[in-house]
Structure 1
Amino acid sequence: MNIENNSVIPDLDFDSPAARRGRKFRAFKDKAASAGIGLGGVSVIIAILLIFFYLLYEVVPMFQSAEIQPWEHNEQVVEPYAVPGAGKTLYMAMEEQAEIGLRVSDLGELIFFNTVNGTPIKTLQAPLPAGVSITSFALASENSHSFAIGLSNGTALAFKHEYKSTYPGGKRVILPTITYPLGEAPIEIAAVPLDHLAFNGNEDGFALIGGTEANMQAVFISRTENLFTGDIELEQSTTALPDLGLKIKKMLMMPDLSWLILAGEGGKIEVVNLRDRDEPVITQVLEASSSKITTFDLLLGGNAILIGNDKGEVSQWFLVRNDQGEWLMTKIREFKTGNTSVTDLAIEHRRKGFATIDTAGDLRLYNTTANANVLTHKVAQANASMIAMAPRANAILIEEAGKLNLLHIDNEHPEVSWSALWGKVWYEGHEKPKYIWQSSAANNDFEPKYSLMPLAFGTLKAAFYAMLLATPLAICGAIYTAYFMVPSLRRKVKPFIELMEALPTVILGFLAGLWLAPFMEENLPGIFVTLLMLPAAILGFAFCWAQMPKQIRWLVPDGWDALLLIPVIILATWLSIAISPSLELVLFDGNMRHWLTNDLGIAYDQRNAMVIGIAMGFAVIPTIFSITEDAIFAVPKHLSYGSLALGATPWQTLTRVVMPTASPGIFSAVMIGMGRAVGETMIVLMATGNTPIMDVNIFEGMRTLAANIAVEMPESEVGSTHYRILFLAAFVLFMFTFVVNTLAEVIRQRLRNKYGSL
């Protein structure tokens, strides 16, 4: 030890065993902390990448091309086999599993056969009167399994093929049957041979139209069930059609039995209105094809027709109401095809798709909603005559030169295309192309509408109105708290505002939907008066307070005078709401909502974007406030002190020194708040009406991407197009936030480099 000035100074040994152990332990802790922080950061990046790749994993199958290959049975490729039965094929179909096929010939044979080898399973003969032959055929629709044949004596027979599965001994056995929805007795249509026939209907009623061009008769049949006996009673009425003036090739009748569409020579089609069954009227004759019509069929649902011609062109048409209220057959879209004549066309049973085969033997698969040719494949030579598609659209039968060929189709998501997801689509029943999201309906003929535009628009609309409210309030509040407020008050205010962020969004959504929305509707004038009165009241009180004698102002501790604004704000808000009924009575005749709707033409929905702006803005304010306040408070004090010392006012110091220095943090706060608003689910789900519409009107609701995923994901079938499009919506949301955050980080770094030298 050292002795100095009569005091004992102990020697300090910095290399003692204890010191060495301490240094080693500190080094270990430093390395462990560095490794832990690094591992945490890498884990976050890996988690984000895993989310990204999982979303891609679910989305990518939608964009895979369709494929076709030979059908395999017991690991053996099914070879073409002879067509069962005799005569010319009028109709072919398959049951659900594509194991049993049906062939109807012009000799009246109805043959159920094994689709793998063509072995007949069951053969029936249509109950034709003696000496009568089949002269025409009409299919109601593929999914109804109903069809009719016209006879040379002016009568017709209606059939329906059905399949029942049984499991004797645990093995599935499919039993095919033929039923007669209108009875086994032929129905008299006209006094002439039925050269042409149209047939359609449902359990309530059917219609048969047949005859020759010069003598065309319509028979409408209603079916009623006797409540006591259970017997089906048929009532029919007959109407003569006007002179059609067209050399008919084929006739189609829509399922509602209100419209008859005829295809004639020269590419012409004719539309007959049957709504007045006593006096059918020809409403339209137009040239639908530039050449000979070779195929003429109803799409699934029976609301649209498909026309193919000998030039290989296929077009879709349906009835559209014009401005005068008239229904006109309108060409909606044309499909990209080959250059050879379309031989036959097969309709999908459950989707808005169809298949064509041409004289070159090329098979093409289409989807009308996506307006896409999803597959082109050569499957036959130049003499393929007919094709039939399985109900699940996973198999197709092709008749060629007296042989049948069964092929397997892999075409899971034909409804998806860039235009269907992001462009306007002309859907059936609409007057023009639109952006629509409607993923389900009550019937099987529904056309799914998967436009993501209304959802993306709703997401941005909700975020815009929320940020419109939250950004100025949060930033201005953060500026005052960090720069002007005394520390003692700041320590109380800042935690209180940050505590708002802990409120569950489901509670905010519940309050917004069940209390705020009705309250705003009842006090709409008061809400707008509040927006005007609050700033005026605050400025007025500030001016009055500044004019007060110093003795009064000094009674309030320095920096605490801002609390005096609380009763002013409460009083101004209460007064605005209190005068709302009187203002509504004087200015809007007692009903502002009625005035908005009828006088200004602005639709008003109770749960609208204004409600979202307030509710979601309330949820976003704490996020923006907290980060902005920290950024401003973290500006080094010597910068502001130096500015003040050089003669700048506090406002000049704030705007020219503090705000530029804190701008990277403020910008990050706004972007994080924007991300919070874009990804918010429960508030928009409960307080917007959840309607996927595209309307900038602040009084209309919307549906966001996040809310749509929350609503529809539990109801979607795993692996379906709907299911994968919801994942695509999640991917879009993910990419939007990623791009915005990346852009924000780039801008933040530039601001930091620019103002970091202050």
Structure 2
Amino acid sequence: MNPKHGIAKRNSRDKLARNVIFLGGVAMVAGVVGIFLFLLAEVLPLLGGAEVAERSSEATPIAQPAVVIADEYQSHLVLMGKDASFAAIKVAQQEIVFSGRLPVGDNESITGVGKVPGRDALTASTDQGRVLVQAVSFKSHFAKAQDGEGRGERIVRPEKGDLTQVVVDEKKRAITCYAVQQAESGTVGVVAQLDDGNVLLSQRSVEVNQFTLEEEVSERKLETKFDGKLVHLLLTGDFRRVFGALDDGRLVWWDIRGEEFGSPQYGVAPQSMRKAQLPKITALEFLLGEQSLLVGRADGRVSIWFPVRIAEGRNDFKLSRIRRFSALEGEIIAIAASRRNKGFLALSSKGELEVSYSTTGVLDWKGSTNVPGASAITYTPKADGLVVAGSKQAKILSLKNEHPELTLGTLFTPVWYEGANQPAYEWQSTGATEDYEPKLSFMPLIVGTIKGTIFSMLFSIPIAVLGAMYVSQFMHFSLRRYIKPVIEIMAAIPSVVLGFLAAIWLAPKVESFFTSLLLMGLFLPAIIVAGGFLGLRLPVSFRARFPDGIASVFFIFAILVGAALCLLLGPVVEHLVFGGSFVLWATDVMGAPYEQRNAIVVGLAMSFAVIPIIFSISEDAFSNVPKTLVSGSLALGADRWQTVTKVVLPTASPGIFSATMVGFGRAVGETMIVLMATGNTAIMSMNPFNGFRALSANIAVEIPEAPVDGTLYRALFLSGLVLFAFTFFINTLAELVRSRLRKRYQAL
């Protein structure tokens, strides 16, 4: 064989191997970069703001509209003026579908107009103590296709519904301020202030007898005296609370308790706002859910108010201002709340319009309406459009604001949610009702991830590193060749199996034998140290009878005996020290409620997944220390322990640190164990006796329920990006530390 031919063949193989390795490295880097770019592409839409553009401009027959209603397809508008005249027009064709005026009697005049919150219904009050409610509906269907197959064009047509007349006051006193509510059952409630100052609630319920199918009408009327002058009123949908705005700029509210009004309570303004400084309230509306109030004032500002519980365990509330938005030019003359989320619109007397989101406190968009005499606004039902109506003109604006509820503030800072006593970090993505407000704070998830990682590493690092040191440096070879493979096989156990066992078997056992586990943590290390100390005190002639490293058998026996004693003494110690139950003692004395699935259980279960990784890499690091260093140390008079701690351990420290970081990454990204063994409670607590929710487990729990491209969907991708960035940062830091340690000890 030609030697040159052999060399050329070997060189070509080396070149091929280098190219394959290079391409593999490039592919790995490209894969990591690709994952990062994909996550980033899914997250970037969260950073976009609101986009508003004019869709159409329509001429209307109403000179000064006070109310405007739009259908979900933005094909028709219904407008009502201050004189209770109304008209429905077809967009783009300027066709009047129907028009009219709410009927009033002779010598009767309109004192106010409005609409029912969250419903398509026009309302008006009169000076004869009556309130009129005109329902409006939008019927839609598809025309037949011209070819006779499939569906044709969608046809929408507005229709007038039933007209409901509510006699608020039998004495026919004039209504100066009022509000209307209508329930799904058909119950209509009206709260009004009369010209003598009294506030009156009139509720009219209609029930259908299931046997006779006859309608049974019942009425309830409540009245209370009140000295202040109300300029705006609101009534909740359950007819249990009344909110009002006074002419001096204050807010007032009543609880309806049984068959009477409660005492009036007043909104608590910040101390910086004195009564004399309160601007006049010019607009008052409910947010979606009717828990929060949108308060517009003459200074051009909108603020959010809702009742806050005075103290835990009490049923007393105070109406408090939660947040305030930046001012518009001119006074606020109209506010409209979205039917889809906690967003709202505000219109100023100067024609400025703002699109804001109440929970975030962020002004998403602000601009001029360019509508002469703009006086009425509304969201379209799908919150994908806005309508601004003015002097015989209305504009329909398209709105693109896909993720207003998510900002950096809501993700990483405390948010004051409706019904809460104070700002808090909360994750709760879904609720029982459509008006539920999603709470998407990452902080409980980040704290949960850190909590689970800390407890798992507390168990894993000492056992894995010290075990690797003992196996590689002290254990007899005949045992080492069995121990290391067995521990490495543990890494092959599926995490779902570990999580299942932790939830079903380990968690109840830990609760029952927690005192015994505490005793093991205290006494087993002492037993090991004492055993080693006593072993060194045995005569040399006796120790010489046994091979080096065989002492591990006696240590294992001592550990088993010590564990058995701890299990036997656990109930006795629990009775003497903890009053018979550690669980109750922890809850009552320490103030740390004990939950069966907690961080201790997760730490124990996750250590079965992390220990094999740290042990295997650490054992290799110990074993790869040059034998010349060990021999030189022993030759200079150092004993085995001194050699291991002073020479072997520092030399192997870069590998040990790498092993720890790999185990740390495994713990951070663990999903199934923390999913099954923690209870998945997203809370901000480092209490080891309660559960938590980690970022990885949260993705597994929430992703099946997340609509594609929705806010929750993209928030989960953002949590994946946070995990990616966190592990990348930790690995980069670990590599820097490892390189520094290697340079430090490479001269040994």
SS in 2 for 1:340: coil
2: distance between equivalents of 1:163 and 1:579? 76
Is residue 110–residue 124 contact of structure 1 (8 Å, CA) maintained in 2? yes
Shift of 1:549: 6.0
- Match for residue 151 of structure 1? 126
Shift of 1:378: 2.1
1:551-566 equivalence runs, <5 A? 553=543, 556-566=546-556
Is residue 148–residue 158 contact of structure 1 (8 Å, CA) maintained in 2? yes
2: distance between equivalents of 1:529 and 1:201? 65
- Match for residue 224 of structure 2? 241
Q: Is 1:137 paired with 2:117?
A: no
2: distance between equivalents of 1:122 and 1:579? 87
- Match for residue 645 of structure 2? 655
- Match for residue 440 of structure 2? 450
Q: Is 1:609 paired with 2:585?
A: no
| 1:360-383 superposed Cα distances (whole Å, 9 cap, x missing partner) | 322211111111011112222673
- Match for residue 684 of structure 1? 674
TM-score (norm 2): 0.93
SS in 2 for 1:579: helix
Is residue 527–residue 559 contact of structure 2 (8 Å, CA) maintained in 1? yes
The match for 2:499 among 505, 509, 515 is 509
| 1:273-330 superposed Cα distances (whole Å, 9 cap, x missing partner) | 2224324321226668721222111111111111112221111111001126521110
SS in 1 for 2:414: coil
The match for 1:635 among 610, 614, 625 is 625
- Match for residue 207 of structure 1? 189
1:544-583 equivalence runs, <5 A? 544-546=534-536, 553=543, 556-583=546-573
Q: Is 1:58 paired with 2:12?
A: no
Of stretches 153-162 and 325-334 in structure 1, the one that deviates more from structure 2 is 153-162
- Match for residue 479 of structure 2? 489
1:259-270 equivalence runs, <5 A? 259-270=241-252
1:193 counterpart letter in structure 2: A
- Match for residue 419 of structure 2? 429
Q: Is 1:228 paired with 2:211?
A: yes
Is residue 63–residue 391 contact of structure 2 (8 Å, CA) maintained in 1? no
2:518 counterpart letter in structure 1: F
2: distance between equivalents of 1:422 and 1:402? 47
Shift of 1:120: 2.2
- Match for residue 164 of structure 2? 184
1:89 counterpart letter in structure 2: P
Of stretches 22-31 and 457-466 in structure 1, the one that deviates more from structure 2 is 22-31
SS in 1 for 2:375: strand
Q: Is 1:20 paired with 2:4?
A: yes
1:391 counterpart letter in structure 2: P
2:19 counterpart letter in structure 1: A
| 1:526-562 superposed Cα distances (whole Å, 9 cap, x missing partner) | 2212212322333344445455566765564331220
Q: 1:522 to 1:112 in 2, by over 3 A?
A: farther
Shift of 1:138: 4.4
1: distance between equivalents of 2:109 and 2:260? 30
Shift of 1:609: 0.5
Shift of 1:236: 1.5
Count residues in correspondence. 730
2:72 counterpart letter in structure 1: E
- Match for residue 4 of structure 1? none
For structure 1, list consecutive stretches of 5 or more residues without a partner in the other structure: 1-15, 72-77
| 1:347-369 superposed Cα distances (whole Å, 9 cap, x missing partner) | 11111111112233222111111
1: distance between equivalents of 2:543 and 2:86? 102
| 1:15-53 superposed Cα distances (whole Å, 9 cap, x missing partner) | x43x33322221121111111111111101000000000
Q: Percent identity?
A: 36
Q: 1:651 to 1:548 in 2, by over 3 A?
A: closer
- Match for residue 148 of structure 2? none
- Match for residue 272 of structure 1? 254
- Match for residue 12 of structure 1? none
Shift of 1:417: 1.5
1:242 counterpart letter in structure 2: K
1: distance between equivalents of 2:747 and 2:229? 87
Shift of 1:637: 1.1
- Match for residue 66 of structure 2? 90
Is residue 154–residue 211 contact of structure 1 (8 Å, CA) maintained in 2? no
Q: 1:184 to 1:373 in 2, by over 3 A?
A: closer
TM-score (norm 1): 0.92
| 1:652-672 superposed Cα distances (whole Å, 9 cap, x missing partner) | 222222222211111111111
The match for 1:321 among 300, 309, 320 is 309
2: distance between equivalents of 1:723 and 1:638? 58
2: distance between equivalents of 1:704 and 1:316? 33
Shift of 1:61: 0.7
Of stretches 652-661 and 395-404 in structure 1, the one that deviates more from structure 2 is 652-661
SS in 1 for 2:282: strand
The match for 2:430 among 431, 434, 440 is 440
| 1:573-617 superposed Cα distances (whole Å, 9 cap, x missing partner) | 233233333333333333221222123221111111011110112
Q: 1:260 to 1:381 in 2, by over 3 A?
A: same
| 1:381-420 superposed Cα distances (whole Å, 9 cap, x missing partner) | 6732121111222111111332111111111111121211
Is residue 189–residue 209 contact of structure 1 (8 Å, CA) maintained in 2? no
1: distance between equivalents of 2:117 and 2:165? 22
| 1:679-727 superposed Cα distances (whole Å, 9 cap, x missing partner) | 1000000000001001010001100100001110111011111111111
Q: 1:301 to 1:550 in 2, by over 3 A?
A: same
Of stretches 544-553 and 293-302 in structure 1, the one that deviates more from structure 2 is 544-553
SS in 2 for 1:513: helix
SS in 1 for 2:491: helix
1:714-729 equivalence runs, <5 A? 714-729=704-719
For structure 2, list consecutive stretches of 5 or more residues without a partner in the other structure: 145-150
The CA RMSD measured in Å over matched residues stands at 2.2
SS in 2 for 1:266: coil
The match for 1:599 among 589, 598, 605 is 589
Q: Is 1:45 paired with 2:22?
A: no
| 1:457-478 superposed Cα distances (whole Å, 9 cap, x missing partner) | 1000100110111011111011
2:284 counterpart letter in structure 1: F
Q: 1:139 to 1:394 in 2, by over 3 A?
A: same
2: distance between equivalents of 1:582 and 1:127? 85
Of stretches 382-391 and 297-306 in structure 1, the one that deviates more from structure 2 is 382-391
2: distance between equivalents of 1:230 and 1:689? 49
- Match for residue 403 of structure 2? 413
1:689-728 equivalence runs, <5 A? 689-728=679-718
2: distance between equivalents of 1:336 and 1:318? 19
Is residue 64–residue 375 contact of structure 2 (8 Å, CA) maintained in 1? no
1: distance between equivalents of 2:715 and 2:288? 22
Q: 1:279 to 1:396 in 2, by over 3 A?
A: closer
2: distance between equivalents of 1:696 and 1:560? 42
2:713 counterpart letter in structure 1: Y
Q: 1:147 to 1:572 in 2, by over 3 A?
A: farther
Q: Is 1:305 paired with 2:288?
A: no
SS in 2 for 1:141: coil
Is residue 242–residue 281 contact of structure 1 (8 Å, CA) maintained in 2? no
Of stretches 97-106 and 413-422 in structure 1, the one that deviates more from structure 2 is 97-106
Q: 1:51 to 1:424 in 2, by over 3 A?
A: same
2: distance between equivalents of 1:547 and 1:656? 23
2: distance between equivalents of 1:542 and 1:678? 36
Q: 1:642 to 1:215 in 2, by over 3 A?
A: same
Of stretches 663-672 and 227-236 in structure 1, the one that deviates more from structure 2 is 227-236
| 1:632-651 superposed Cα distances (whole Å, 9 cap, x missing partner) | 11111111211222222322
- Match for residue 74 of structure 1? none
Of stretches 42-51 and 641-650 in structure 1, the one that deviates more from structure 2 is 641-650
- Match for residue 252 of structure 1? 234
